Structure 1
């Protein structure tokens, strides 16, 4: 009986450790703009969410050829996010299901 309890305890500890590792993952992503246009707004929301929240850039923009470092961590511990870039001409481009725990750079192209 003691062996079973120790095995179960060890398995539970491994589960907790892997969850802690995922929530501690780096979620900083360099957004690269190679579109020929200015990105005037940028949003990132958990995949499956119906709300884009606030514009992450605020008063900043990402000019063509520029890179902007963004911390995508919203405190939920999730890794999968949808990105929405809004350009200075009013058009937008959405990219879904981006794993921000596995990438460090995301490039928008024409």
Structure 2
């Protein structure tokens, strides 16, 4: 009986962990006047940047890119963009469940 109780508790724990993970997305619009070559999005509690989500693509001035974030447990992310002149624009602790990003020269680091 004790093993059965432990097994049920373990299944409930696994199910609750899966239920807490969610998919988020953020739309990022470039209004800098420059082409953005790199876009890094990392969980807000991360100590390093994850891979460039643009890959071989670029984000032209005036364009919008949707970034899908799958399997995370909270909606807070840090976002860093790097343009053609290697200028960076960093947004800290963005709640992507309620906020999209419009990048302008006012956001230049």
Q: Which TM bucket (shorter chain)?
A: 0.7 to 0.9
Say which structure is richer in strand.
Answer: 2
Per-residue displacement from partner, 1:65-102 (whole Å, max 9, x unpaired)? 011111023x2322100000011101111110001122
* Equivalent pairs, count: 89
Q: 4+ runs of 1 displaced by more than 6 Å?
A: none
Which ranges of structure 1 fall in alignment gaps of 5 or more residues?
A: 1-15
Whole-angstrom CA distance in 2 between matches of 1:46 and 1:98: 9
Partner of 1:13: none
1:16-62 deviation line (CA, Å, top 9, x unaligned):
6xx94x633x5121110000111100001111311111100000110
After superposition, the CA RMSD in angstroms is: 1.8
For structure 2, the 5+ residue unaligned runs are: 1-15
Aligned twin of 1:57: 54
Where in structure 2 are the equivalents of 1:15-54 lying within 5 Å?
A: 20=19, 23-24=21-22, 26-54=23-51
TM-score, with normalisation over the residues of structure 1?
A: 0.72
Check the 8 A contact 1:32/1:65 in 2, yes or no: yes
